[in-house]
Amino acid sequence: EREKYLLDQFLMYGGNIIFFLDQMAVNIEDAGGEGTIGMPFETGLDDLLFRYGIRINRDLVQDLNFGYDPVVSGEYGDQPQIVPLPWPFYVQAGRMADHPITKGLDVVQFRFASSLDTVKADNVVKTPLVFTSDFTRRQSAPVRVAFGDMANEPDVNSFNETNLPLVYLLEGQFTSFFKNRFVPAGFDKDKFLSVSNSGRILVAGAADAIKSWIDPRQDEPLPLGVDPFATNNTANRTFLQNAVNYLVEPDGIIA
């Protein structure tokens, strides 16, 4: 509650926040053999975000516009043979809103992303920024995650959702989550603000969107957006830079 109060009052006092949250816990190292199960991960922030006007669902998005995951297929001599496996859980999102944060961006990759829904929040404008392709599906928790499932060609007919928003920008006057609640112990009640003058929040249901790959051959981190198994880099780094620039000064150079 103390940490939620600090985030809440930071927003009320004019701060801006980027939330990149994993709503589902998946251990990719267990996806071989019989596979593993993706289960909901309790961040403790669901009720806070709900008050601000957004909900991260307990599901995983798959898209036929996908990236690849490195899988060890055997050994050659004493060197592991790594094969890039097509992986619909790695969404290659190339549809962008006409907005300063995303205008002109190339593909942004989201690994194990959850879908987003907006909820009622007075005086808050909600703008979707990044979308999936025409061939998308959502799988609600618990979700089977297994490399073996990719041995067969995916059923295109089951990917029957289109243009799911993966990132939302929220702007406006936010109402404090702690309005009409007790202020946590140790804080001055007289300094509590129940409504922000103005604020901005960016929300995505995939923490790995701003996490670098590890080069499996060198075991070293790569720059954000560099995929060791793709011919082209993704725009994750530019997207993050644009988001920070906009949140700090929307009428500045980003405009």
Top pLDDT among 232 and 245 is at 245
Q: Is the pLDDT of residue 45 over 80?
A: yes
Task: In whole angstroms, give the CA distance from residue 111 to residue 92.
Answer: 9
In SS3 terms, 211-251 reads as CCCEECCCCEECCCCCCCCCCCCCCHHHHHHHHHHHHHCCC
Query: What's the confidence (pLDDT) of residue 77?
Result: 72
pTM, to two decimals: 0.93
Amino acid at 198: S
Summarised one tens digit per residue, pLDDT across range 186-209 is 999 999 999 998 999 999 999 999
Query: What's the confidence (pLDDT) of residue 211?
Result: 93
DSSP state of 15: -
Task: In whole angstroms, give the CA distance from residue 246 to residue 254.
Answer: 6
Region 43-62: what's the mean pLDDT?
Answer: 97
Any idea of the CA torsion for 183, 184, 189, 195, to the nearest 10 degrees? Answer: -50
Region 120-144: what's the mean pLDDT?
Answer: 97
Q: Where are the alpha helices (DSSP H) in 69-210?
A: none
Query: What's the confidence (pLDDT) of residue 229?
Result: 75
Instruction: Give the mean pLDDT of the chain.
Output: 93
Summarised one tens digit per residue, pLDDT across range 155-176 is 899 999 999 999 999 999 999 9
Amino acid at 194: S
Summarised one tens digit per residue, pLDDT across range 59-90 is 999 999 998 887 776 667 777 777 778 899 99
Region 126-148: what's the mean pLDDT?
Answer: 96
